[in-house]
Amino acid sequence: MTDTIPNPESEGPSGGWGSVKSIARILGDDKPSPMVLEELARQNKPGGVMCVSCAWPKPANYHPFEFCENGAKATISDLTSARCTPGFWSDHTVQSLRGWKDYDLEQTGRLTHPLRYDEASDRYVEVSWDQAFDDIGQTLKSLPRESVVFYSSGHAGLEASYLYALLARTYGNNNLPQSSNMCHETTSVGLQKVIGSPVGTVVWEDLEKADAFFFFGQNPGSNSPRFLHPLQEAKKRGAKIVTFNPVVEQGLVSFVNPQSPVDMLTGRETQISDEYLQVKAGGDIAAILGLCKVVVEADDAAVSTGAARVLDIAFIDEHTVGLESFIDLVRSTDWSVIEKESGLTETAIRGAGELYIQAERVIGVYGMGLTQHSQGALNVAMVVNLLLLRGNIGREGAGCCPVRGHSNVQGQRTVGIAEKAKLIPMDKLKALFDFDPPTEDGVTIVDAVKGMMSGQIKATISLGGNLVRAVPDQKAMEEAWASQDLTVVVSTKLNRSHLFPGKKAYILPCLSRLERDEQASGPQSVTTEDSFSHISGSVGKRTPASKHLKSELAIVTSIAKATVAPNPKLKWDEWTADYSLVRDLIEATYPDQFGAYNERMFEPSGFYRGNSAHDRVWKTEEKKAVFTTPKQLNALSFDDAEGRLRLITMRSNDQFNTTIYGYSDRFRGIEGTRDVLLMCREDIRSAGLSEGQEVKLVSDFNDGVRRELAGLKVREHNLPRGTIGAYYPEANVLIAIDHHDELSKTPASKAVPVRIEA
Ligand SMILES: Nc1nc2c(c(=O)[nH]1)N[C@H]1C(S)=C(S)[C@@H](COP(=O)(O)OP(=O)(O)OC[C@H]3O[C@@H](n4cnc5c(=O)[nH]c(N)nc54)[C@H](O)[C@@H]3O)O[C@H]1N2
Ligand SMILES: Nc1nc2c(c(=O)[nH]1)N[C@H]1C(S)=C(S)[C@@H](COP(=O)(O)OP(=O)(O)OC[C@H]3O[C@@H](n4cnc5c(=O)[nH]c(N)nc54)[C@H](O)[C@@H]3O)O[C@H]1N2
Ligand SMILES: [Mo]
């Protein structure tokens, strides 16, 4: 079916020469240091450096080059020779930079000195580290504890992250939201509810044994390209791949392995998806219900003829609750309703359902296409329903595979960066550090943004990230962020968040993980956790971009020393001198997961910290895996009013979140611009528009607030009717902060209700 999917826009298969050319272009125009290729060769191998881009696992049997196009871009971007020195500010005011694109800010290069915002000149000026920490500490001490937020983006290693969480708690709150609050918090909350584990259950060996992969709203070609290697292997041994995605993503259609000389010379493509179902945005609940209907119908037929059951009855009886009410809904829901809600035909869903039944071992993969919806957690629960029907969780070659974003986003949560107090072993912290940890829950990102808007949040420390640009309601957020008493952003590069300084504002420049981290006891290494819950050591070798940089860990402990009352148990200086002591603390806090941490951190593919659901131990309220009966058949919080469209906010192949490397989205055939509105031909025609026409998008959320994005050029794209696409983060101005997953508060960025104004 896939090979007939028209994708005329694409320049060809993902991977292949296109990928090599794309890296070469970045190498050419980003002025990398000469050591880039050597650095790439060390990537994701034992004793090497763990990629600064995404959280895809590191296989024990690694390739000679275990990196991908986007890992290479992230590496090159960190190793650029361009520098954003204090001198940059003699030519630019903060106000003037607000007109710059994200791409242009990124091109200014690595930050070199700590900076303080000077209101009189509207510029950042150089400041000494000591002065910065002193002022930050004084200000934090003067503020109500609950008014300060400690945000982190998922870059920093486990050691710095553990101490950052300790900083917040010894300061006096659990205000530790993270980038996953905009991302896989739906998984942390939704998956926990139904299988008792907040993270995926599969490990690398499962990829090698699976008979089928079902992809729901995850785009490996752009966002986790090394996933394409095990998928290629899977196809070679006859495994099937089925994709549900409104957009025809090239990486899920075909792949040429850029690291296979034979494939590259012959242009030999591997077809990836056997079935590609272009579900409507927000239509997965109905689509998966349809798959379940195929399974249940086949099982009913087997029962009536006395053939072997299609449901895994032994597993269901022993391990699950809730099947009956779910099956009642499956039986009573008409195909016509499923077709209408999903936008797919019964025939297409039946074809996919047959592949599900034929496969003995199935992995369900998902990403932002499921999590970023009003009913994102229900989407996740539906994937679990499908897997549970045939015992596809906690068994070799099967399981649930949420693909995580930032390189250490999952790990930061593991070691204590969490706003939910019940997730933290507070008794351990109390015993280890002799203080009374705060017991009240902290804020999520949505709460934090609303708190800034209402004036209740007065200061934010950001360990990485670009919060102002990443959150919904971005225009209002810019004002709200700048109204705070203090903003501190620990960064490698200039970004838009820096351009809305609080009354006091600091930019604290840090080392990249690629760089040598020298402390009093010698060179340090750090650790990160990947999507499969494996922990790997990472050794930075490159010369730091500036001699004034500090490590993230050293910045965290310096803020802590300036802020938190002295306590002999809080040995911030000793920990900074030797990170292995911090790993001992992590082990003492989480002994079941981090045993022999320092000894095991350089094991090939990292060490596994375990996962209960992987072993069919269900830490849910019911002590079983839970079938969820969906209360609605789409993932939306609005209906299809006349003229209302569902906007997907998308990533290009030339960006990492708010970092824009360039203007080439070659898989989708979009070059030289990001100001596009993707629509199918029928939608263009029925809206009375034509290709190339400039339009304005306006929000159609039910709160009456005017939100708009102008200057988008209409472009025909292969999409289901009623589903349109524009790029993130540019489109974030259109999303209401109150439009989020009901359970986890993850912003609903994949079906934003909008209208078009010509
Ligand atoms: N190169 C690169 N790599 C990255 C990132 C990056 O920006 N660039 N970001 C990193 C981060 S933080 C994350 S979280 C991950 C994100 O990686 P992904 O989870 O892949 O996220 P997206 O690309 O936002 O969306 C995934 C897919 O969902 C589809 N989709 C949209 N709406 C729906 C829907 O309603 N149903 C279904 N079934 N599909 C839908 C989109 O078409 C898209 O193909 O990638 C990480 N890796
Ligand atoms: N509309 C819409 N909004 C979205 C999404 C979407 O799909 N659609 N996706 C959401 C998702 S999945 C996520 S994860 C968030 C991302 O939100 P964030 O994590 O806040 O944003 P990033 O763009 O990843 O942050 C980039 C900045 O991090 C800094 N940085 C880079 N490397 C390092 C480092 O090693 N250390 C430190 N300290 N700083 C570093 C640089 O200064 C860079 O400018 O956005 C979310 N927002
Ligand atoms: Mo993410």
Q: Name the helix (H) or strand (E) containing 514.
A: none
The residue contributing the CA closest to ligand 1 atom 47 is 223
- Residue 11, pLDDT above cutoff 70: no
The stretches of 155-236 forming alpha helices (DSSP H) are: 158-171, 185-195, 204-209, 220-223, 228-236
> Which tokens in the block code for residue 304?
């009536």
Report pLDDT digits (tens) over 685-744.
999 999 999 999 999 999 999 999 999 999 999 999 999 999 999 999 999 999 999 999
Q: Give the H/E segment covering residue 664.
A: strand 664-665
Residue 589 CA to ligand 1 center (angstroms) comes to 33
Quick check: 5 pLDDT over 60? no
Distance from the alpha carbon of residue 27 to the mean position of ligand 1, in angstroms: 25
Indicate which atom in ligand 1 lies nearest the CA of residue 219.
20
For ligand 3, a single-atom ion, which residues have Cβ within 5 Å?
183, 405
pLDDT number for residue 256:
78
CA of 531 to the centre of ligand 3 (A): 12
- Continuous segment of H or E residues that includes residue 27: helix 16-29
Q: Which residue has the tokens 């956790």?
A: 529
Ligand 1, atom nearest to 244 Cα:
38
Which pair of structure tokens corresponds to residue 142?
């003067």
| Residue appearing with tokens 């970023």 | 372
Residue 2 has pLDDT above 80, yes or no: no
The DSSP output letter for 29 is H
For the residues of 11-64, what is the DSSP string, one character each? -SSEEHHHHHHHHHHHHHHS-B-TTHHHHHHTBTSTTSB--SSB-----SS--S
| Tens-place pLDDT, residues 74-132 | 999 999 999 999 999 999 999 999 999 999 999 999 999 999 999 999 999 999 999 99
Residue 515 is given by DSSP the state: B
**Residues in contact with ligand 2 (CB, 6 Å cut-off):** 52, 153, 155, 179, 182-183, 368, 372, 405-406, 463-467, 470, 490-493, 495, 510, 512-513, 552, 649, 657-659, 728-729, 731-732, 735, 749
Ligand nearest to the CA of 341: 1
For residue 409, report the distance from its CA to the centre of ligand 1, in Å. Answer: 15
Could you give the CA distance from residue 558 to residue 561 in angstroms, rounded to a whole number?
5
- The DSSP letter of residue 565 is P
Quote the CA–CA distance of 176 and 412 in Å, as a whole number.
Answer: 10
Domain architecture of the chain: domains with CATH: 101-179+408-600 (3.40.50.740), 185-264+282-403 (3.40.228.10), 645-757 (2.40.40.20)
Dump the DSSP string for 411-451. HHHHTT--S-GGGS-HHHHHHHH-S----S----HHHHHHH
pLDDT at 27 over 70: no
C-alpha of residue 651 to centroid of ligand 1, in Å: 7
Question: What would the DSSP string read from start to end of 590-654?
Answer: STTTSTTHHHHTTSTT-EE---TGGGT---STTSSEE----SSSSS-SS---TT-EEEEEE--TT
CA distance 112 to 630: 52
Q: What is the pLDDT of residues 283-318, one digit of tens each?
A: 999 999 999 999 999 999 999 999 999 999 999 999
pLDDT at residue number 62: 83
